[in-house]
C-alpha cells in the first residue's frame, strides 16, 4: 500500500473492533478491519451496565431479539444476599431525560452469540469496511513521533496505517509492543465458563417465570462451603443461561474445568437457585487459563487508541466492558480528527471504572465471617452510585453541551452524597432460603 492509500486499521474483530468499524462506516470513512469473525463459542460480556444498555438501545435497536430484561442484580455474599432493583422509576426516568437519554423500560442482558453475528454481517456489508481474516504478527513503532508506522500480517503483507485501533482485549497487542507502563490491579485469575441450555420445547413460563431469570446473579464461593474460592455469575438469556466463575490463580494447582462447573452449579443450588432444573443441557466448558485486571498509563497516542478493554479492565460484575467497547466506537471518527481530545475523553470514561473495581475487590476479598448487613448495604449503594456516574459520563460524551453540564453537576452531587434511593436491599438468610428471600416481596 503506498503513502496515498494509508487508512485507519482496526486490529481485532470482536465487539470493540466491530463498534469502531461501524462508526467509521457511518461517518463514510474507509478503513481496514483485521482479525477472525465471531464464532458460536460462548462470549464474555452478556450482562450490560446502565450506560452500555443506553448505548446499545440507542445505536443498535434493530438487534432487540437478542436483548433480555435485566431487572435485578443479586449478589450472594456469605450469610447475606443483596438485590438491587434496576426497574425504572419515575425519578430515574426524569433524571435520564435531563441528561439527554430516553429512559429504557428495562436494562438488558445480551445474547452475544446472536448479536455479534448480526453486527458482523452489518459491518462487513458496508463498502467502507475492508475486512481481512488475518492476524497481526508485529508492528513498527516510531517513539520520536509516537506513531505506529507499519503492521506486519501473518499472511506476509505489510500495511502502513494512518491510525491504529487496538481491539485485541487482553492480548494488548499495542501496549505490549511498546512496553507501555501498566498497573495490575488484581491478582491473576483463571476463568471457567459455559452455557446451559433448556431442552427444546421448554415452555416460556419456565424460561421467564422466576425473578432470578431476569437478574444478573453474582455469587461469592467460599472454599469451606463451596469447594473453591471464587466469584461466579449466572446470567439468564431466554433459552439458555450463561454461567462462569473467576478463581484466584494458584501456581501448580490444576483444576478440572468440568468439575469446577459442577461446584458452581452446586453453589447456586445451595443458595436456592438451582438453574439446572430448567437449563439442564450443559455445553462445552471453556477455560481462560490466565486473566488479570489492569490499567495502562495512557489510552492513546498520536495515531493509536487502546480501544475497549485493551486499555484497562476491572472486575467483571461492574459489567462495563461492552459499554466501554461502544464508547470507543462512538469516539472513533472524532479520534481521527483530534486524537488528543477524543483519546482523553475515552481514557477518562474508562478510568471511571476504577472505583467500581475497588468496591468489588473489597467485597470479594472479605471472608464471609467479616461481612455485616450494614457493610454490604453501604458497598451496594456505592456500586449503584458508580453506575449513576458512569451514565452521567456517557452523557458528557454523547449528549451535547446542555446535557453535559447537567451530567457534570450530577457526578459532583453523587460523589458527595451518594444516591438517595439506590434500590438495593440486603437480607440475612440461611443459604437455602436466600433466593426465595430476596425475591419474595417483589
User: Which residues in this chain contact ligand FAD in the complex, by CB under 6 A?
Assistant: 11-17, 34-36, 44-48, 52, 135-136, 167-169, 171, 173, 191, 246, 291, 308-309, 316, 319-322, 325
Q: Which is nearer to ligand FAD, 55 or 404 (CB)?
A: 55
Q: How far is the CB of 413 from ligand FAD (least distance, A)?
A: 26
Cβ-based nearer residue to ligand FAD, 74 or 169: 169
Nearer to ligand FAD, 84 or 406 (CB): 84
Residue 128 C-beta: closest distance to ligand FAD, Å: 19
Choose between 318 and 380: whose C-beta lies nearer to ligand FAD. Answer: 318
Nearer to ligand FAD, 97 or 170 (CB): 170
Nearer to ligand FAD, 22 or 46 (CB): 46
Smallest distance, ligand FAD to C-beta of residue 363, A: 16
| Shortest Å distance, C-beta 246 to ligand FAD | 5
Between 46 and 226, CB nearer to ligand FAD: 46
CB of 148 to ligand FAD, least distance (A): 13
Give the nearest distance from C-beta 229 to ligand FAD in angstroms: 15
CB of 401 to ligand FAD, least distance (A): 28
Using a CB cutoff of 8 Å and minimum separation of 24, what contacts does 57-60 make? 57/104, 57/108, 58/101, 58/102, 59/22, 59/326, 59/330, 60/115, 60/119
Q: Smallest gap, in angstroms, from Cβ of residue 245 to ligand FAD?
A: 9
* CB of 316 or CB of 427, closer to ligand FAD: 316
Is the four-CA dihedral 96, 102, 104, 105 of positive or negative sign? positive
Amino acid at each position: 500500500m503506498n503513502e496515498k492509500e494509508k487508512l485507519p486499521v482496526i486490529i481485532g474483530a470482536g465487539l470493540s473492533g466491530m463498534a469502531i468499524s461501524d462508526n467509521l462506516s457511518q461517518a463514510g470513512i474507509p478503513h481496514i478491519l483485521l482479525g477472525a469473525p465471531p464464532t458460536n463459542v460462548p462470549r464474555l460480556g452478556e450482562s450490560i451496565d446502565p450506560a452500555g444498555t443506553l448505548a446499545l438501545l440507542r445505536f443498535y435497536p434493530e438487534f432487540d431479539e437478542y436483548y433480555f430484561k435485566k431487572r435485578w442484580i443479586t449478589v450472594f455474599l456469605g450469610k447475606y444476599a443483596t438485590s438491587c432493583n434496576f426497574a425504572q422509576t419515575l425519578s430515574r426516568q426524569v433524571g435520564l431525560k435531563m441528561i439527554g437519554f430516553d429512559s429504557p423500560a428495562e436494562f438488558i442482558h445480551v445474547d452475544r452469540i446472536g448479536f455479534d453475528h448480526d453486527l458482523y454481517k452489518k459491518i462487513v456489508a458496508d463498502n467502507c469496511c475492508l475486512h481481512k481474516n488475518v492476524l497481526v504478527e508485529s508492528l513498527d513503532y516510531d517513539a520520536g513521533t509516537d506513531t505506529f508506522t507499519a503492521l506486519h500480517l501473518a499472511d506476509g503483507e505489510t500495511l502502513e496505517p494512518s491510525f491504529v485501533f487496538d481491539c485485541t482485549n487482553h492480548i494488548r497487542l499495542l501496549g505490549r509492543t511498546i512496553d507501555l507502563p501498566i498497573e495490575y490491579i488484581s491478582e491473576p485469575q483463571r476463568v471457567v465458563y459455559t452455557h446451559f441450555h433448556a431442552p427444546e420445547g421448554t415452555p416460556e413460563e419456565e424460561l421467564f417465570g422466576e425473578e432470578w431469570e431476569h437478574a444478573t446473579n453474582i455469587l461469592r464461593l467460599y472454599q469451606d462451603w463451596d469447594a473453591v474460592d471464587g466469584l461466579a455469575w449466572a446470567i439468564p438469556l431466554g433459552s439458555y443461561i450463561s454461567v462462569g466463575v473467576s478463581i484466584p490463580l494458584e501456581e501448580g494447582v490444576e483444576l478440572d474445568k468440568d468439575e469446577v462447573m459442577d461446584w458452581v452449579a452446586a453453589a447456586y443450588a445451595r443458595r436456592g437457585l438451582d438453574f439446572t432444573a430448567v437449563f439442564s443441557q450443559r455445553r462445552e466448558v471453556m477455560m481462560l487459563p490466565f486473566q488479570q485486571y489492569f490499567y495502562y498509563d495512557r489510552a492513546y497516542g498520536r495515531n493509536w487508541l487502546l480501544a475497549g478493554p485493551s486499555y484497562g479492565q476491572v472486575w467483571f460484575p461492574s459489567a462495563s466492558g461492552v459499554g466501554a467497547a461502544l464508547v470507543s466506537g462512538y469516539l472513533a471518527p472524532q479520534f481521527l480528527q483530534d486524537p488528543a481530545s477524543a483519546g482523553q475523553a475515552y481514557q477518562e470514561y474508562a478510568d471511571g471504572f476504577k472505583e467500581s473495581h475497588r468496591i468489588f475487590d473489597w467485597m470479594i476479598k472479605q471472608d464471609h465471617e467479616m461481612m455485616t448487613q450494614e457493610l454490604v448495604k453501604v458497598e451496594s449503594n456505592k456500586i449503584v452510585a458508580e453506575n449513576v456516574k458512569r451514565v452521567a459520563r456517557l452523557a458528557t460524551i454523547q449528549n451535547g453541551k446542555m446535557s453535559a453540564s447537567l451530567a457534570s453537576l450530577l457526578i459532583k452531587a453523587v460523589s458527595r452524597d451518594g444516591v438517595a434511593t439506590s434500590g438495593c436491599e440486603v437480607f440475612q438468610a440461611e443459604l437455602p432460603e436466600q433466593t426465595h428471600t430476596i425475591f419474595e416481596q417483589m
